[in-house]
Amino acid sequence: MEAARDRLRSLRDRRTKRVEAGPAMGLRIGFAEASADYARGTNELPVQIALVDALGPGDVFVDVGANVGFFSLLAARLVGPAGAVYAIEPVPANVRRVEANARRNRFDNVTTIAAAATERTGTTTLVLAVHPGGAAVASAGSPPDPAGTLDVRTVSIDDLVATGQIRPPDVIKIDVEGAELDVLVGCATTLRAHRPVVVCEVDGRDDRSVGAKRAEVAGVLEAEGYVIDVLDPAYDAADWHVAHFVARPHGGDR
């Protein structure tokens, strides 16, 4: 019965393909309106490589801003059945796509959390975007292509860990369109107690604004004893600029 449902979902979403190259090669992904780079396997390749370096069997990965789940799928492969992947995503359509993609690949180690990760558990307004990965919590500002609003649940990683809803993470990936500092405030206890590696994206209209954001977010992590490694650019210069970095706990072995 479940296999029949999977086939029906694949027919509904004709943009279901096997990833052609890279660390995620062979995984099946339905990516809807999201970037075709997912299917090519070229999406944010420096981030993919960083996850390969940081994750191993049995590890726990928290994907904050999971979109359609590309990095959740890659992590699910890397951590194996003894590991766990928690995909935190506030856009309902994307949550459904993450769940469908996990089923397509028969990953039982992926759990979706339909919420926005912020500094506290509660509710907030999400500003939707034309780009499927561009939604942002209203407190972080509006995306460049706003497409309405939606009230969503919020969670903090500290609360999720403290209440046993998720296992303490080994790696956290943050892609939240300007709300990076809120996520870090909401996982401050987790950072101090469990010392996960943090892979973070910052973006903006130009290199100057991106550099300022990166310095601010990295500064918070450095104050917690983390060492910052800026990743190679994942995109050519365009109208919207994106940068990634990895933060590792000082003296850690990851």
What is the pTM for the complete model shown? 0.91
* 110-113 and 84-88 strand pairing: parallel
Give residue 248's region: left, alpha or beta (phi > 0; psi -120 to 50): beta
What domains lie within the chain, and their CATH numbers? 44-249 (3.40.50.150)
Whether pLDDT at 38 is above 50: yes
Average pLDDT, the chain: 90
Burial of 33 (0-12, 13-18, 19+ CB in 10 A): exposed
* 116-117 and 146-155 strand pairing: parallel
Burial of 57 (0-12, 13-18, 19+ CB in 10 A): exposed
Whether pLDDT at 11 is above 70: no
- pLDDT per residue as tens digits for the range 120-146: 999 998 888 887 777 888 787 777 778
Q: Contact, 78 vs 55, CB < 8 A?
A: yes
Burial of 135 (0-12, 13-18, 19+ CB in 10 A): buried
Query: Tokens in use for 12?
Result: 């509904």
Whether pLDDT at 219 is above 90: yes
Top-confidence residue, 147 or 9 = 147
What is the percent of the chain where pLDDT is above 70?
92
Query: Tokens in use for 95?
Result: 């949550």
Q: How far apart are CA 126 and CA 149, in angstroms?
A: 5
Helix ranges (DSSP H) in 55-175: 70-79, 92-104, 157-162
pLDDT class of 5 with cuts at 50, 70, 90: low
Distance in angstroms between the alpha carbons of the first and the last residue of the chain:
41
Segment 87-106 mean pLDDT: 96
